[in-house]
Each structure stands twice: as structure tokens, then as C-alpha cells.
Amino acid sequence: MWWDGLDRDAVEPPLETDTIADIAIVGGGYTGLWTAYFLKQIQPDVDVVLVEAKQIGHGASGRNGGWLMGALEGCHAFVDDSGTLPVIARQQLTHLVSRAGEILAKESIDCDFHHGGCVMAAARHDAQVARAQKILASFHGLGFGEDDYRWLTPIELSNRIQVANPGGAVFTPHVARIQPAKLVTGLAGVVKSLGVRVFEHTRAHGIQSGLIHCDRGNVQAGQIVVATEGYSEAGNPLHRRLIPVQTGMVSTEPLSDAQWSGLGFANNETFADCTRAATYLQRTADNRLVIGARGHYQPGGLPQHGLGDTRTTGQQRERIALSLFPQLAGVRFTHNWGGSVGVPRGWHPHVIHDTYSGIATAGGYMGQGVGASFLFGQTLAELLTGEDTDRARMPWVTRRSLEELKRWEPEPVPQLGLKATMMAFTAEEWLLDRYGGGVPAKAVGWLCEQLDPH
Ligand SMILES: Cc1cc2nc3c(=O)[nH]c(=O)nc-3n(C[C@H](O)[C@H](O)[C@H](O)COP(=O)(O)OP(=O)(O)OC[C@H]3O[C@@H](n4cnc5c(N)ncnc54)[C@H](O)[C@@H]3O)c2cc1C
């Protein structure tokens, strides 16, 4: 859906010979592209080569839910001795969305950016009220204030979004809606205009200090950035250090003004239902409602390359949408797709710059990389060019080797673990739907906490 009507003619030819660059980037998603962009801002003369195995935006960056967030999944790992996130880290996150918006405007990247914030709601079951309050307490515990995360009463929630069973919500201004494919293609266009040499359909088969082996030529470079995230496969130093977990989306047909007046979203807020299925929605610029939810794990830990998702998972998401918004009954769901997000064994994202080997990476976003890749791409560019900034001192930055990233257990351990977790999540939802938050749902909820404490 995101790619409908976009110009895909601007495909770059593959790398056909050996080449030399100052810095080489592997992966043409947001992380690779933002890194290239900021490298050129800091040192316009730096020679940057970017190789992409398929086409720009093939990975999660071209198929996500379009929430550009000033938040990091797993940021509890970065609290200081006082138990809060350091002030400078919080500032990086709370300023992230506005900073990204300014750069998108400056570079005339039209990606339907709308800074409308996000509503995380108790919207179906009474048990979700406690969950939403826990989310709010957790943000406040990290040191964020009422201006960053605040409570919406059921009436305030209904004034914004008309859900089936409004129980209250957390509101944050730190999220913007974007159109993912427009962002990735627009950013690629800017990066190319700045002189970055982009080679599509060029897979890196081997990455070592100073050298990338590709299909028909090698890239020799003093520094290398591995920006392959949830699409890191065999032969890549990140393989099995980040595992690909699938998540997917469905979209309605464009809805009429009358339908929207019965749904809300007047300020194009992004919206989440406080379930463990991690449901996330946005109203698109062409007036569709897109709904995403956590997915599955492919046997063998392979990333999802095809766009199509199974009809069953699509129907599950349609059911979630209808239970949130019964007013959608009779609306046509037109698209159903999925992709992979990178999950690190340590359950928190990272920026790594190994000054010894000259290899750097950023990722482990666990499905929250649209905003984080902007911050991490800028951080990588500053680290690679030796700029001394606050960003280089963030708690998620390390200067050791990629080896520092823990490996996942061999298959099928992750596959079985994720399957059990998803089954527990589904059982909890089923119990809540039918019997409310009684003892059985609480017992399964406890099991869910044990399986996924993150
Ligand atoms: C369905 C879905 C919904 C999502 N929704 C949201 C959301 O709403 N908000 C949010 O913050 N995050 C969301 N995410 C996650 C977000 O999209 C990602 O975190 C982010 O796009 C990661 O960007 P990236 O550049 O690091 O990786 P990717 O965009 O995955 O790019 C990696 C690239 O590397 C390339 N590559 C891999 N191996 C090689 C190789 N050997 N040689 C050359 N190239 C290679 C791949 O082809 C790919 O293009 C979602 C993800 C999915 C799948």
C-alpha cells in the first residue's frame, strides 16, 4: 500500500567493479540512510558508498506502521544509579520528533509527517486500565514529566478517539505519523543528491575490517557501518545477534469524512491499544486506518522478504480492529503485509563503534526504529567523524566490538520461546474477551509476564 503510486524507476545499478570509499554502509533502510545523510552534513567531502541487497526500503523501513517516536524500546536498561534515564538521554528522546520534523522540512522530504502525538489506551477490557496506568508510571519512573506522558480520562480519550470501551489512556506528544515508503525514498533521494554513491541489488556476502565482499565487486573502506537490523542473515556479523521477529499490518479502504467523524483521530494521533499483542494504528494522509500487531517467528529465524502475510494473521488483525472500533463493520480491508524487526538478546537497542576494526552498527530497535534510527544514524555519523557531542555519550553507545552483542541460543530455542509467548498472549486476550479480568486471565497474565518481562 505504501508503495502504490511511488516512482520506483529511480533504481540504482548494482556495483559491478571494486571500489574504494572513506566510509561504506551496508543496508538501505533508515539507519543506513540517516547515517549517510549526517556524514555528509558533517563532512561534505567524505566519500560514502551504500550497498543495498535488494532495493532501498526493502526491509522494515519501507513497510512499517509509520510511528516516528521519541522513545526507545528497552530503555529501562539505560537508567542510572537513581533509577531514572539520564537527563541528557531524556532530552535526546523528547526533542527527537521535532528535530526530525525540522530536517524533513528543510530537505523537502514529503512523507506525510504530522506531529499529532500518541494515545495509548485502555480501549477494550477493564484490565487494560491497570496496564495503561502501569505504562504511565513506568515513563514517570524513568524521569519523564507530565508534559511528556499524561493521563487522559475516559471522556478525554473519547473526545479524541471513539473506541469500544474507553477506560482512559496515556497521551504523549512525542510521536509523529509518517508514510514509511515516502520517507525512505525521499531520504534516499536527498542522500544521493549529496553525493553518496548508492548501489542497489548489491548484497554484501562478507564484512570484515576495511573490506566488504559483494556479488561482483568489493568495497574497500576505512570504516564500515552495518545497518541491516532485522534483515541480518548468514555471513553478516550481526547474524544471530539480532533475530528477525515478524510483525504485520492491515489497512482499510479510504474512509469518508462521515466515517472519520465516528472514529475521531481529528489530529491524526497515532493510537495503541494496551495489549500484549502490541497493537498500533495510524490514520494515513489518504484517510485509511492501518492497524498493526505483533506477529510470528519464521522457522530457522529467517527474515520476511515477501510483503504478503498469511490470510489468518490478516484476519486476526481485522478482528482486533473491529473489536476496538465496531463502527468499522462492513468496511473493506484492502491490504495485508508484514516484515521483520531486529530483536537483540540483551533486549535493548545499541549504537556500537569499534574503533579497532573500524566497524560500526546501530539497531536492535525491537519494532521502534523509525525515530530511533534518526537519532542513532546521527550518532553513528558523529562517532565516525570524531565529533564530540552529547549523543556520543549516550548510555546506548559503546565503543567496543560487535562481539559484545550477545548471541541468541541456537534454533529452535528462540522459535519455541516466541511461540509459547504468543500462545500465552492469545489465551490471555481470549479470556479477557469472554470472561473479563478474573482469576484465569490473571493467571495467564502472570505467565505472560514471566515469558516476556520486557
Ligand atoms: C510491519 C512493521 C511495522 C513497524 N512499525 C513501526 C512503527 O510504527 N514505528 C517504529 O518506530 N518502528 C516500526 N517498525 C520497525 C522499523 O520499521 C524498523 O525498526 C526500522 O525501519 C529499521 O530500519 P533499519 O534501516 O535499521 O533496517 P531495515 O529497514 O530493515 O533495513 C535493513 C536493510 O539492509 C538490507 N540488507 C540486509 N542484508 C544485507 C546485505 N548483506 N547486503 C546489503 N544489504 C543488506 C536489507 O535488504 C534492508 O533493506 C516496524 C516494522 C515492521 C516490519
Q: DSSP assignment, residue 78?
A: G
Which of the four pLDDT bands, split at 50, 70 and 90, describes residue 447?
Answer: confident
304: CA distance to ligand 1 center in Å?
A: 11
pLDDT at 427 over 90: no
Cell digits of residue 201: 541489488
Question: Whose Cα sits closest to atom 4 in ligand 1?
Answer: 64
Ligand 1 binding pocket mutation candidate from 118, 178, 211, 229 (most atoms within 8 A of CB): 229
Backbone angles phi, psi at 176, to 5 degrees: -125, 155
Contact 136, 107 (CB under 8 A): no
Amino acid in position 335: H
365: CA distance to ligand 1 center in Å?
A: 9
Question: Tell me, what's the pLDDT at 9?
Answer: 60
CB burial of 134-148 (b: ≥16 within 10 Å; e: otherwise) equals ebbeebeebbbeeeb
Contact 224, 236 (CB under 8 A): no
pLDDT at 71 over 80: yes
Contact 325, 260 (CB under 8 A): no
Which of the four pLDDT bands, split at 50, 70 and 90, describes residue 155?
Answer: very high
pLDDT at 125 over 90: no
Question: Tell me, what's the pLDDT at 138?
Answer: 96
Region 213-226: mean pLDDT is 97
Atom of ligand 1 nearest to the CA of 227: 26
Q: 30 CB less than 6 Å from ligand 1?
A: yes
Which of the four pLDDT bands, split at 50, 70 and 90, describes residue 428?
Answer: confident
Question: Tell me, what's the pLDDT at 425?
Answer: 85
Question: Which CATH superfamily includes the segment(s) 19-70+180-242+346-404?
Answer: FAD/NAD(P)-binding domain (3.50.50.60)
* Four-residue CA torsion sign, 136, 138, 141, 142: negative
Question: Tell me, what's the pLDDT at 195?
Answer: 98
Neighbours of 159 (CB within 10 A): 13
Which has more confidence, 219 or 310?
219
Q: 227 CB less than 6 Å from ligand 1?
A: yes
Whole-number mean pLDDT of the chain? 94
User: What stretches of 264-412 show up as alpha helix (H) in DSSP?
Assistant: 311-324, 369-385
pLDDT at 207 over 80: yes
- The proportion of the chain whose per-residue pLDDT surpasses 90, expressed as a percent, equals 80
Region 260-280: mean pLDDT is 92
Question: Tell me, what's the pLDDT at 51?
Answer: 98
**Pairing outcome for strands 333-344 and 242-252:** antiparallel
Ligand 1 binding pocket mutation candidate from 232, 370, 378 (most atoms within 8 A of CB): 370
Neighbours of 256 (CB within 10 A): 10
Question: Tell me, what's the pLDDT at 13?
Answer: 95
171: left (phi over 0), alpha (psi -120 to 50) or beta: beta
- The dihedral formed by the CA atoms of 279, 283, 289 and 290, expressed in degrees to the nearest 10: -50
Alpha carbons 160 and 362: distance in angstroms, whole number: 36
Question: Tell me, what's the pLDDT at 342?
Answer: 97
pLDDT at 126 over 90: no
Q: DSSP assignment, residue 114?
A: B
pTM above 0.85, yes or no: yes
Question: Whose Cα sits closest to atom 15 in ligand 1?
Answer: 367
Contact 230, 73 (CB under 8 A): no
Region 234-260: mean pLDDT is 95
Region 176-200: mean pLDDT is 97
Which has more confidence, 60 or 401?
60
218: CA distance to ligand 1 center in Å?
A: 24
Which of the four pLDDT bands, split at 50, 70 and 90, describes residue 124?
Answer: confident
Which of the four pLDDT bands, split at 50, 70 and 90, describes residue 245?
Answer: very high
Q: 368 CB less than 6 Å from ligand 1?
A: yes
Q: For the chain, how many residues are written? A: 454
Region 167-177: mean pLDDT is 98
Region 348-373: mean pLDDT is 97
User: What stretches of 194-310 show up as alpha helix (H) in DSSP?
Assistant: 257-261
Domain range summary for the chain, segments of one domain joined by +: 19-70+180-242+346-404, 409-454
Which of the four pLDDT bands, split at 50, 70 and 90, describes residue 454?
Answer: low
Question: Tell me, what's the pLDDT at 439?
Answer: 85
Alpha carbons 392 and 353: distance in angstroms, whole number: 10
Region 150-168: mean pLDDT is 96
pLDDT at 309 over 80: no
Question: Tell me, what's the pLDDT at 453?
Answer: 65
- The proportion of the chain whose per-residue pLDDT surpasses 70, expressed as a percent, equals 99
Region 157-170: mean pLDDT is 96
Which of the four pLDDT bands, split at 50, 70 and 90, describes residue 11?
Answer: confident
pLDDT at 404 over 90: no
Q: 27 CB less than 6 Å from ligand 1?
A: yes
